[in-house]
A and B are shown apart, each in its own frame.
Chain A
């Protein structure tokens, strides 16, 4: 890891460790879940060059899976998260096999269509309780002895999951697999001519991204003790695109910053009601017009260091 990224990692960890002293912890937990979600999304678009417009299906599926497992089947939290994640991974495998056959806008449209199908399934299925969602999901005892009803226990758990997920993504990006993925993003035809079966690499990237998005969704469900349609809605798929672009596509820390900014806006501008969407839209336009690399991307470019 270059020094610039080590420093950024330290700053990020320190922020999430110290911020709950002054900021509402539930808000920070939400931010970390979305940050992980955006990082997972960024793995696919920023390093694999694949724009998914249906990532909410993984967030939503893992959320419902974890909520159902914890509430109805009485799973302990670690297994509820694992179950939700596995459900997202399975969905990733199935939808990935379909979607990666196409590129560019077609890929985006297929993922959107599949995500809409999942949304309508969750709207109709009995176990999701439709508009009400699965409420009062018990957080339970982690490993049988850590009571997650305690906000600090929950906070530490989310922090640990977020950091582990973030570092795993970092590892993937810099692995031999990550190198091939970048090559495919840079020049797919050339990667093929060198003998790489690019579809298999794309599928693995898609699967990893879906799985990690699932971790974020399942964790978020335990934080809010709620799985709802919001997480599976197409606007959530759009929001993660916004977070990633705003923070910096293809940067390591950008999605985290983007998620923090968007979640803060939603939180602190909540009294503006529907105007939040308009503010977000304005920010998006400004971002695309004036700092296309995103916040972190621009800072990295200015420092001439990878971030």
Chain B
């Protein structure tokens, strides 16, 4: 079903005092696709992203996930529904080991996390699955290192492993390759591609070659509004998009 929509927004608007960051954005993301949200600086991408992940509350508009309105739910609540976000600054638990980072996510699916009287050993049953995930992002030899000691690109890989541990139906990625060296960009792109095989991905991304390489569909935002939408070819040929990006150093 190519037109099966997993996430939809209707008239999504966010106003800060005297300033409209996101205006009347109606977006639909198809199930199983990689959808990119791009735009010049200050276009409202991150605000839009925070609205979708419920870290901000919209001034107006609706968000529908699998046809169900999720607009007022808590961020933790939508995460439990299978809509899991990442962060622009790598989001790891710095002083926990790589293994423990992934286990925290697996533990949430396992349940029983209020059991303060139980020994931590009950969580060892999660180790095999955690190691499998760590291995899949190429961190196998680093499982007992503290996350804070990992280089930046590896932290992002760990973050992806942690997100995948939740087996989310849909992933929201906030600039997954921001601030990365080229070889890391390739590694992370490959990981996203692999993760997206059985799920939907919506990402905000600056790196246009990553966008071109990964995304099935692109939405361009400018000054809080949708400027254009389509696949990379259509969007990159759009004169308004070229205009918006001129001077920003991108093609």
Contacts and interface: CB of A to CB of B under 8 A. Distances in A.
Nearest to A177: B116
A103 interface: no
B248 interface: no
Contact of B114 (A182, A183, A201): A201
Interface string B85-124: 1110001111110001001110110001111111110110
Interface in A183-210: 183, 186-187, 189-198, 200-201, 204, 208
A187 B79 contact: no
B63 interface: no
A183 B104 contact: yes
Contacts of B91: 187, 189-190, 193
Given A176-B112, A182-B96, A194 B118 contact: no
A97 interface: no
A256 to B, nearest CB: 20
B107 A179 contact: yes
B22 interface: no
A244 B115 CA distance: 25
- Which of A187, A192, A194 gathers most chain B CB within 10 Å? A194
B120 to A, nearest CB: 4
Contacts, number: 100
A248 B6 CA distance: 49
Nearest to B120: A174
A195 B76 contact: yes
A182 B94 CA distance: 10
Interface residues of B, number: 37
A179 B114 contact: no
Given A189-B87, A197-B74, A178 B116 contact: yes
A180 interface: yes
Interface in B129-168: 162, 166
Nearest to B168: A195
A261 interface: no
B96 A193 contact: no
A195 B84 contact: yes
A300 to B, nearest CB: 14
A6 interface: no
A71 B194 CA distance: 70
B75 interface: yes
Given A174-B120, A189-B87, A195 B108 contact: yes
Contacts of A177: 113-116, 118
B240 to A, nearest CB: 34
Contacts of A171: 116-117, 119
B53 interface: yes
A195 B96 contact: no
Instruction: Determine chain B's interface SS by DSSP, over half rule.
Output: loop
Given A183-B93, A194-B79, A194-B162, A176 B85 contact: no
A175 interface: yes
A204 B108 CA distance: 17
B96 A183 contact: yes
A196 B113 contact: yes
Contact of A190 (B92, B114, B117): B92
A123 B199 CA distance: 62
B108 A194 contact: yes
- Which of A186, A193, A197, A204 gathers most chain B CB within 10 Å? A193
A204 B117 CA distance: 12
Contacts of A208: 116
B95 A186 contact: yes
B10 interface: no
A172 interface: yes
Contacts of B117: 171-172, 175
Contacts of A197: 74, 76-77
Contact of B76 (A172, A178, A187, A192): A192
Contacts of A193: 53, 75-76, 79, 84-87, 91
B58 to A, nearest CB: 18
A171 B85 CA distance: 32
Given A175-B117, A177-B116, A180-B113, A194 B105 contact: yes
B93 A190 contact: yes
B69 to A, nearest CB: 19
A195 B93 contact: no
Contacts of A176: 107, 112-113, 115, 118, 120, 122-123
Given A178-B120, A196-B113, 6 more contacts: A179-B120, A180-B113, A182-B93, A193-B85, A200-B114, A201-B113
